[in-house]
């Protein structure tokens, strides 16, 4: 008993030390006090580059993670399991197709989709449908396809290839991943930890509330509390992912990846690796893909454009907070395999 | 009332993110990180963070179900620490090089000429044309090089030398931001000048030169391509502009 107390008090001391240091450093800098050149010693070209990269990925993704967290809490509060069970088509293929086309009415990119996918699955949406939904929406939506059209200066075939193979890939992967899970949910149980989440379940609360005003107040509280909890859950993995991606981009020169080659198969490997490492938003990635037109095969460009929104470093980290590791590894392997085959197909047909 | 450590820390983290984003928007430094079109999303994030911070402030003293320290909060602290201590001044050319180079005068896929942006900007045939809209002229010259043949142009940007360039070849360029600085690319006009060595690679220049067309064979497309190269006659050192980026 006393040992346990000792340990927890040591832990507490360490924690306070960290907090104190953290605050001291930040307030030092907020107040623009002279820092005697202490931090400048660490300032190098690499640290600058790394920081810009990390923060820009973060600032770009954060609003979308917040949107995702917000939508997820709306689903949690206002969409019932029975409603979901009623609207999902009984036919497996129809269900998959409908899920893959959801992006048309629900255009969000890949940062926002992870918390939404998790919430939908928890609400009873079959796994193959929620996974297809997660993979297809960041590709087959008007915002992304328009930016692709713009980036490729109106080359409609690239837009078409991206949309078509994105949907085809998402359906294929969703179907097989659903089979792979075999009825057992691969999602982690999220126990609402600490005080980041509302304590009482929604149903209980809504039963108890007599006045309309109080009900609205509780609802708002629930939504905010839920959004905060979701932001914490997904945000920490987003930061790890952004850190890894920024580090790779700062320290691994592009030539290292490009040196794999530009042949039919090598180019696909190169472009898919680039998509994974760069962790770009699906709204922006077409502008990067464009720079490779003429240097790499069309199939590899399509591979880049469909693989990146489905999975990359940032999303792998976010999913690792949601799915069990073993399933996640198989799932990523499946995504990689299917996207590779589709890209190869484009090259073989010679588009 | 007992202090809830996790609650307090999470409050601090949310508050500092709110402050950071608010401060970047106030000073306009957010444009070092993001394309202006993304600003609306940042506003949304700011408002949401304010709400989350306010909500969390009511929970600092709420008793916690577990006293265990939540290490996830430490992860949220890392970007804050970097943001407040490093204070970067923007993306460097070296970083952008890792992304891709978008250049007039390099082989790329043939694009339908009907897609060209506007017509040739010349009024007076002999006066040098100052390229004020870097992006549009870059695209125009890329799609429609013939309209520029033999013209004298002035372009401002930094010097960029691709690894495969031979002596005297360089690009007068800007950084192109599509969404966030993580996707910055070098974009520029291909140039040629014998006195290139006299220029400082870290500085910005206003160059003047004559546009010449070159036709090369692109094996990947198995066809000839015509691209523009600027034969530079003079270069003037200039101040780096307030916002060095260009946005498509």
| pLDDT, tens only, A223-272 | 888 888 888 888 888 888 888 888 877 777 666 777 777 677 888 998 89
- Nearest 5 degrees, angle CA A331-CA A332-CA A333? 90
Task: Tell me if A153 and B143 make a contact (CB, 8 A cut-off).
Answer: yes
Cβ neighbours, 10 Å, residue A34: 7
Give the ipTM of the model, two decimals please: 0.74
Q: What average pLDDT does this structure show over A125-154?
A: 88
pLDDT, residue A165, reads 95
pLDDT, residue A172, reads 96
Alpha carbons B20 and B18: distance in angstroms, whole number: 5
Option in A48, A254, A284 nearest B88 (CB): A48
- Band of residue A135 on the pLDDT scale cut at 50, 70, 90: very high
Max mean pLDDT range (A39-53, A135-149, B233-247): A135-149
Give a yes or no: residue A19 inside a domain: no
Give a yes or no: residue A165 inside a domain: yes
B85 at the A interface (CB within 8 A)? Answer: yes
Name the residue of chain B whose CA is nearest to A198's CA: B59
A259 at the B interface (CB within 8 A)? Answer: no
Dihedral of CA B52/B55/B59/B60: which sign?
Answer: positive
pLDDT, residue B87, reads 66
Q: How many domains does chain A have?
A: 1
* Per-residue model confidence as pLDDT tens digits over A171-190: 999 999 999 888 778 888 76
Tokens 């346990």 appear where? A4
pLDDT, residue A8, reads 67
Report pTM.
Answer: 0.72
A277 at the B interface (CB within 8 A)? Answer: no
Which residue, B125, B127, B155, is CA-closest to B140? Answer: B155
Q: Is the pLDDT assigned to residue B97 strictly greater than 70? A: no
* Per-residue model confidence as pLDDT tens digits over A81-127: 788 778 888 889 999 999 999 888 887 878 788 889 988 998 889 99
Element (H, E) at B230: strand B223-238
* Per-residue model confidence as pLDDT tens digits over B144-180: 778 788 888 888 888 888 777 888 888 888 888 776 6
Min mean pLDDT across A20-24, B90-94, B133-137 is at: B90-94
Contacts of B49 in chain A (CB under 8 A): 66
Task: Tell me if A25 and B81 make a contact (CB, 8 A cut-off).
Answer: yes
Q: Is the pLDDT assigned to residue A201 strictly greater than 60? A: no
pLDDT, residue A322, reads 87
Mean pLDDT computed over every residue of chain A: 81
Q: Is the pLDDT assigned to residue A204 strictly greater than 60? A: no
* Per-residue model confidence as pLDDT tens digits over B176-225: 877 667 677 788 888 888 888 888 877 888 888 888 888 877 655 566 77
- Show the tokens assigned to A55: 């923060």
More confident residue, A35 or B227: B227
B182 at the A interface (CB within 8 A)? Answer: yes
Q: Is the pLDDT assigned to residue B114 strictly greater than 80? A: no
* Per-residue model confidence as pLDDT tens digits over A305-336: 999 999 998 899 989 988 899 999 999 999 99
Min mean pLDDT across A30-44, A108-122, B43-57, B125-139 is at: A30-44
Measured in degrees and rounded to the nearest 5, phi and psi for residue B192 equal -145, 130
- Show the tokens assigned to B69: 């320290």
Give a yes or no: residue A299 inside a domain: yes
Cβ neighbours, 10 Å, residue A79: 15
Min mean pLDDT across A49-53, A347-351, B22-26 is at: A347-351
pLDDT, residue A29, reads 66
Min mean pLDDT across A41-45, A320-324, B40-44, B187-191 is at: A41-45
Give a yes or no: residue A10 inside a domain: no
B82 at the A interface (CB within 8 A)? Answer: yes
Alpha carbons A277 and A280: distance in angstroms, whole number: 9
Q: What average pLDDT does this structure show over B216-236?
A: 76
- Nearest 5 degrees, angle CA A208-CA A214-CA A218? 80
A58 at the B interface (CB within 8 A)? Answer: yes
Give a yes or no: residue A163 inside a domain: yes
Give a yes or no: residue A188 inside a domain: yes
More confident residue, A151 or A228: A228
Which range of residues forms the domain containing residue A75? 49-349
Q: What average pLDDT does this structure show over A143-169?
A: 87
Give a yes or no: residue A29 inside a domain: no
Mutant choice from B182, B217, B220 vs A, greatest count of A C-beta within 10 A: B182
A-B contacts (CB, under 8 Å): 215
pLDDT, residue B123, reads 44
- Band of residue B21 on the pLDDT scale cut at 50, 70, 90: very high
B101-104 and B185-192 beta bridge pairing: parallel
Alpha carbons A323 and A332: distance in angstroms, whole number: 11
Q: Is the pLDDT assigned to residue A134 strictly greater than 90? A: yes
Give a yes or no: residue A126 inside a domain: yes
Q: Is the pLDDT assigned to residue B126 strictly greater than 90? A: no
Instruction: Tell me the percentage of chain A whose pLDDT exceeds 70.
Output: 83
Which residue, A173, A176, A92, A186, is CA-closest to A134? Answer: A173
């Amino acid at each position: 008993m006393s040992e346990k107390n000792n340990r927890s008090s040591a832990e507490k001391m360490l924690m306070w030390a960290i907090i104190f240091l953290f605050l001291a450093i930040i307030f030092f800098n907020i107040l623009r006090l002279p820092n005697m050149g202490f931090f400048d010693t660490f300032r190098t070209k690499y640290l600058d580059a790394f920081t810009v990269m990390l923060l820009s990925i973060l600032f770009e993704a954060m609003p979308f993670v917040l949107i995702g967290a917000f939508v997820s809490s709306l689903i949690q509060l206002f969409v019932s399991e029975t409603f979901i069970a009623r609207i999902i088509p009984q036919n497996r293929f129809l269900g998959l197709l409908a899920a893959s086309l959801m992006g048309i009415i629900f255009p969000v990119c890949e940062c926002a989709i992870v918390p939404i996918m998790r919430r939908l699955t928890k609400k009873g949406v079959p796994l193959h449908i929620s996974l297809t939904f997660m993979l297809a929406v960041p590709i087959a939506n008007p915002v992304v396809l328009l930016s692709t059209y713009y980036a490729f200066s109106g080359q409609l075939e690239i837009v078409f290839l991206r949309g078509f193979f994105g949907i085809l890939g998402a359906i294929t992967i969703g179907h097989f991943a659903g089979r792979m899970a075999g009825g057992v949910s691969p999602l982690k149980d999220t126990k609402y930890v600490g005080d980041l989440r509302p304590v009482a379940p929604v149903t209980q609360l809504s039963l108890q509330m007599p006045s309309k005003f109080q009900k609205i107040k509780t609802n708002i509280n629930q939504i905010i509390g839920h959004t905060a909890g979701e932001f914490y859950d997904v945000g920490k993995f987003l930061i790890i992912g952004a850190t890894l991606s920024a580090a790779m981009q700062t320290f691994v020169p592009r030539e290292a990846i490009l040196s794999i080659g530009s042949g039919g198969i090598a180019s696909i490997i190169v472009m898919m690796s680039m998509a994974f490492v760069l962790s770009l938003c699906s709204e922006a990635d077409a502008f990067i893909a464009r720079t490779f037109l003429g240097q790499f095969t069309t199939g590899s460009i399509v591979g880049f454009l469909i693989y990146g929104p489905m999975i990359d470093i940032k999303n792998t980290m976010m999913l690792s907070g949601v799915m069990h590791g073993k399933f996640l590894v198989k799932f990523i392997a499946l995504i990689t395999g299917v996207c590779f085959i589709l890209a190869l197909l484009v090259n073989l047909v010679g588009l | 009332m007992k202090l809830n450590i996790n609650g307090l820390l999470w409050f601090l983290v949310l508050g500092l993110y709110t402050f950071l984003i608010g401060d970047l928007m106030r000073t306009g430094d957010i444009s070092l990180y993001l394309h202006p079109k993304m600003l609306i999303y940042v506003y949304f994030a700011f408002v949401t963070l304010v709400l989350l911070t306010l909500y969390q402030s009511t929970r600092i003293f709420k008793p916690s179900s577990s006293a265990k320290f939540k290490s996830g909060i430490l992860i949220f602290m890392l970007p804050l620490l970097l943001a407040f201590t490093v204070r970067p001044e923007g993306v460097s050319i070296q970083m952008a090089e890792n992304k891709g180079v978008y250049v007039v005068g390099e082989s790329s896929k043939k694009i339908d000429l009907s897609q060209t942006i506007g017509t040739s900007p010349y009024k007076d045939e002999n006066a040098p044309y100052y390229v004020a809209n870097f992006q549009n002229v870059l695209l125009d010259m890329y799609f429609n090089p013939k309209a520029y043949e033999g013209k004298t142009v002035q372009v401002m940007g930094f010097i960029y030398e691709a690894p495969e360039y031979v002596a005297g070849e360089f690009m007068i360029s800007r950084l192109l931001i599509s969404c966030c600085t993580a996707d910055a690319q070098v974009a520029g006009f291909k140039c040629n000048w014998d006195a290139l060595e006299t220029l400082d690679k870290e500085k910005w220049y206003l160059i003047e030169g004559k546009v010449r067309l070159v036709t090369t064979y692109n094996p990947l497309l198995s066809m000839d391509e015509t691209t523009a190269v600027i034969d530079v006659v003079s270069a003037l050192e200039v101040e780096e502009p307030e916002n060095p980026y260009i946005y498509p």
